[in-house]
């Protein structure tokens, strides 16, 4: 139980405290690659010069990832913001479980899956993102599991490989395809096992939808992985080469689905008696395909019959729902979130975003739990189903209008929102669209500022990680833009390692807020900051508030 303490120096503003997450809008190191800086952002520019402003760490160990070379992401970013502390996250936990052997121990879910394959004389399947982006998955985890499967006598394994190009460079597929095919050749060399890729496709084309935004992606993935229906090729390398030749300029994340065949027969449909592992560890883009495997009845699409398989996720993806039923590694137990603290204090809260980031402001913000606390209201604005570069404003106007209405209505003391534009459009690599996306967010921030000025509220404005601030490949030694043979910049679609802004805007000045001395501040410090500005004292083990008040 969190002990509640009122702040005697400042009991809170007259209006609400509003936490604005500008998803994917960090602070770039190279102006030529920073399309947050290149966009027209008069409101953010004014805040930089006139509000309380600092830089916050949003990657690596500051958000619970193994190393400071690891990009931050929306999942761990919202975890850190919402709980005010740093928990070791998926990649770090899995790495330790593999290194110690705990994941493979007798009595583990892994042992259960392997035993099932032996008992049924069946196939072990792996579905997941084939890269080392360390955001949703890591190819090193997959290779370790395949080595262990061979060691434990599994004769037949099939891999259903989703091509990344989003958490790694946008056309880097062959780096992973060639590595993985070489790896499989080595495993198969002694003739004792038959391990191969069975199907795949771009991660934004099949399988990895989230937040019920586009179940057709999952339907296509099901047809590809489970039923082995689709265009056939002799190898993954042939599939990627063919698609690139047919669709010049296509990004890896958008590649069509493919099925691998031998002698005219698909090598790896998923059938009764098989074991299946989804080796992605991040939850948002794992829940829908998991539901397709686990639900007795599925209304979202016709599965055409569900095979009787033993299914497991790399981690548990939803603690409240207990999904999946089996998982290889226990996720971090995130407790005592800011939402719980404020609910216990009787603070009415509104969480709002559009579909693409709705779960981040609810599920991830509340510590990977899908249940809401007593004083919370959640509002989802449906996202458009179209390429993000075609509608870069996304639903920024609708989110802003709803937030301004809530500010003026006076019902909520704390409002949290996410503008997805900088991240979702940033992932497309289309810099012209990215500028428009950032400008839409800036307009929204300006309207929220105006509403807070009228109501004597306070805004805390930050980001969960960078993206739109680093849209071009940079030379790792010089920091200069990397150009292709035609002299054009090479687009970058992944998140950045850049810091993000930490802004506090108090137009009334009643809080007398001033920046505190907080060494190595990161986005985990935002929770204590919001609690402080609401007139409470944050829990002692929270990362310190960025401001002092009163």
Binding-site residue set for Mn(2+): 23, 74, 423, 427, 464-465, 495
Closest CA to 369 of 83, 3, 138: 83
Say which residues have a Cβ less than 8 Å from residue 236's Cβ, sequence separation at least 6. Answer: 161, 177, 180, 181, 197, 200, 258, 260
Does residue 4 belong to any structural domain of this protein?
no
- Among 294, 314, 329, residue at a domain's last position: 329
Q: Are strands 52-56 and 458-462 parallel, antiparallel or unpaired?
A: unpaired
Q: Do both 204 and 109 map to the same domain?
A: yes
Report which of 237, 208, 212 is spatially closest to residue 221, judged by C-alpha positions: 208
Assess whether the previous peptide bond of 511 is cis (omega < 30° from 0): no
Longest dimension (CA), the chain: 77
Is 524 in the same domain as 417?
A: yes
Count, residues in the chain: 550
Q: Are residues 456 and 518 in the same domain?
A: yes
Q: How many CB atoms lie within 10 A of CB 411?
A: 13
Co-location of 153 and 65 in the same domain = no
CATH number assigned to the domain comprising residue 246: 3.40.1450.10
The total of structural domains in the chain comes to 2
Q: For residues 476-514, b (16+ Cβ closer than 10 Å) or e, as one string?
A: eeeeebeeeeeeebebbbbbbbbbbbbbbbbbeebbebe
Which residue segment(s) compose the domain that 122 sits in? 91-329
- Of the residues 74, 339, 496, 545, only one is catalytic, namely 74
Q: What is the CATH number of the domain that holds 372?
A: 3.40.720.10
2: in domain:
no
Domain closes at, from 310, 329, 348: 329
Number of Cβ atoms within 10 Å of the Cβ of 380: 18
The tens place of each residue's pLDDT in the chain, 550 residues long, gives: 567 888 888 999 999 999 999 999 999 998 999 999 999 999 999 999 999 999 999 999 999 887 888 888 898 999 999 999 999 888 889 999 999 999 999 999 999 999 999 999 999 999 999 999 988 999 999 999 999 999 999 999 999 999 999 999 999 999 999 999 999 999 999 999 999 999 999 999 999 998 888 999 999 999 999 999 999 999 999 999 999 999 999 999 999 999 999 999 999 999 999 999 999 998 889 999 999 999 999 999 999 999 999 999 999 887 667 899 999 998 888 999 999 999 999 999 999 999 999 999 999 999 988 889 999 999 999 999 899 999 999 999 999 999 999 999 999 999 999 999 999 999 999 999 999 999 999 999 999 999 999 999 999 999 999 999 999 988 777 878 888 777 788 888 889 999 999 999 999 999 999 999 999 999 999 999 999 999 999 999 999 999 999 9
Say yes or no: 192 and 322 in one domain: yes
Spatial separation of the C-alpha atoms in residues 184 and 443, rounded to whole Å: 51
DSSP code, position 465: S
For residues 257 and 364, state if they share a domain: no
Residue 73's nearest CA partner among 137, 143, 129 is: 137
**Shared domain check, 502 and 542:** yes
74 is catalytic: yes
Cα angle, residue 208 at apex, residues 207 and 212 outer, rounded to 5°: 100
Report CA torsion sign: 73, 79, 82, 87.
negative
Of 329, 357, 382, which marks where a domain is finished? 329
Q: Which residues are annotated as a binding site?
A: 23, 74, 136, 166-167, 203, 210, 282-285, 357, 423, 427, 464-465, 495
Token pair listed for 415: 């409002």
Q: Find all residues with CB under 8 Å of 269, minimum gap 6, and list them.
A: 198, 226, 227, 228
Q: Which residues are annotated as a binding site for substrate?
A: 136, 166-167, 203, 210, 282-285, 357
> Tokens 């503003």, residue?
13
Residues 111 and 147 in one domain: yes
> How far, in Å, CA of 75 to CA of 464, rounded?
9
Spell 30-57 as b/e; 16+ CB within 10 A means b.
beebbbbbbbebebbeebeeebbbbebb
Tell the residue number behind the tokens 């883009």, with chain if given.
285
């Amino acid at each position: 139980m969190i002990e509640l303490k009122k702040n005697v120096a400042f009991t809170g503003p007259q209006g609400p405290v509003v936490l604005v997450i500008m998803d994917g809008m960090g602070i770039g190191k190279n102006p030529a690659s920073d399309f947050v800086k290149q966009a027209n952002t008069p409101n953010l520019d004014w805040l930089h010069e006139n509000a309380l402003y600092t830089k916050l760490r949003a990657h690596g160990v500051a958000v619970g990832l193994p190393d400071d070379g690891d990009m931050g992401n929306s999942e761990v970013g919202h975890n850190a913001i919402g709980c005010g502390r740093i928990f070791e996250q998926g990649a770090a936990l899995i790495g330790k479980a593999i290194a110690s052997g705990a994941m493979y121990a007798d009595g583990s879910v892994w042992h259960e899956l392997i035993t099932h394959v032996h008992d049924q004389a069946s196939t072990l399947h792996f579905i997941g993102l084939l890269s080392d982006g360390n955001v949703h998955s890591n190819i090193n985890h997959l290779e370790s599991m395949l080595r262990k499967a061979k060691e434990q006598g599994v004769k037949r394994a099939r891999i259903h490989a989703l091509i990344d190009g989003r958490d790694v460079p946008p056309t880097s597929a062959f780096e992973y395809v060639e590595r993985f095919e070489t790896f499989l050749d080595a495993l198969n060399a002694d003739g004792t096992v038959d391990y191969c890729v069975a199907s795949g496709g771009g991660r934004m084309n099949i399988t990895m939808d989230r937040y019920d935004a586009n179940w057709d992606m999952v339907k296509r993935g099901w047809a590809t992985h489970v039923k082995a229906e689709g265009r056939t090729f002799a190898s993954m390398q042939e599939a990627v080469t063919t698609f690139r030749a047919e669709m010049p300029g296509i990004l890896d994340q958008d590649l069509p689905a493919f099925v691998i065949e031998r002698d005219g027969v698909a090598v790896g449909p998923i059938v009764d008696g098989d074991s299946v592992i989804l080796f992605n560890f991040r939850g948002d883009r794992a829940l829908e395909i998991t539901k397709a495997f686990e639900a007795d009845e599925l209304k979202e699409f016709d599965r055409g019959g569900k095979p009787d398989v033993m299914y497991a996720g790399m981690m548990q993806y939803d603690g409240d729902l207990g999904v999946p039923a089996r998982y290889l590694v226990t996720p971090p137990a995130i407790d005592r979130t800011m939402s719980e603290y404020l609910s216990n204090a009787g603070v009415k809260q509104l969480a709002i975003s559009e579909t693409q980031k709705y779960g981040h402001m609810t599920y991830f913000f509340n510590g990977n739990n899908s249940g809401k606390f007593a004083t919370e209201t959640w509002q989802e604005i449906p996202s458009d189903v179209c390429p993000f570069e075609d509608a870069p404003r996304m639903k920024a106007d609708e989110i802003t209008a709803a937030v301004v209405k809530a500010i003026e209505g006076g019902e909520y003391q704390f409002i949290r929102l996410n503008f997805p534009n900088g991240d979702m459009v940033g992932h497309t690599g289309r810099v012209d669209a990215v500028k428009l996306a950032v400008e839409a967010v800036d307009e929204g921030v300006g309207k929220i500022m105006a509403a807070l000025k009228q109501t004597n509220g306070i805004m805390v404005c930050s980001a969960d990680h960078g993206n739109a601030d680093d849209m071009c490949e940079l030379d790792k030694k010089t920091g200069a833009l990397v150009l292709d043979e035609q002299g054009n910049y090479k687009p970058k679609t992944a998140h950045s390692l850049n810091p993000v802004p930490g802004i506090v805007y108090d137009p009334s000045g009643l809080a007398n807020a001033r920046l505190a001395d907080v060494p190595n501040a990161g986005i985990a410090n935002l929770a204590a900051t919001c609690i402080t500005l609401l007139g409470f004292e944050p829990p002692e083990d929270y990362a310190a508030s960025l401001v002092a008040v009163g």
